[in-house]
Structure 1
Amino acid sequence: MTEIIIGSAYAVLNTLKPGLDEKLYERALVIELRKQGLRCQQQKSHDVFYDGQLIGSLIPDLIVEDTVVVDPKVVSNFNDSHIAQMIGYLHITGLGTALLLNFKHAQLGIKRVSN
């Protein structure tokens, strides 16, 4: 699954080129993933509980096939806070894999995070 997602991200980057707004890449990636026959949920809210009480919600950019959290970025480099955010997303969603995809440069940046 991650190979298809990464291939789709390359297609998006090759078409749109680097450095645009993150939301543009997110929307284009959804189109590309759906062309590949994959289900994508965009901006789906997940309730966050502490000690049995609702404390807020978490909204990952994309969840593909109820399996992989995908977060398109336009940043110089991934940092610890990006990775920590993905760990939090995985914990709250109960999923096992996240992909950070960086569209800032001509070469797609990829960071896989596992729970």
Structure 2
Amino acid sequence: MKEFRVCHVDELTDPGSLEVTLPCEDMEPTIFLVKMEGRIYAYVNSCPHTGAPLNWLPDQFLDYSHELIQCTLHGARFRPGDGYCVWGPCQGQSLKSLPVSVRQRQIYVSCA
């Protein structure tokens, strides 16, 4: 499983999100990180309903409350901890998550 350093933990606010491009061979290279209550999650930037990117503006993946991930195309909402859709046309589906690790305050994400 290939892993890439994507940023320093201080580059990601809490709560906050950050768009990142990975040089992965077998998947969409654009992912995003979400930091919520000190935990960091990574997801492929693709809505399970349409396949479109979730954001229209760079690094903007959270709703106004900063509690849920939101697809700006149709307003679907996803839980940050597991990517599960709790509201919208893809309710019951989930975002594709990626393994995240933090070592020496650097965030690493695996392509698998």
Q: Same fold (TM over 0.5)?
A: no
- State the structure with more CA Rg: 1
Q: Which has the higher helix share?
A: 1
**Which structure is higher in RCO with an 8 Å CA cutoff and minimum separation 6?**
2
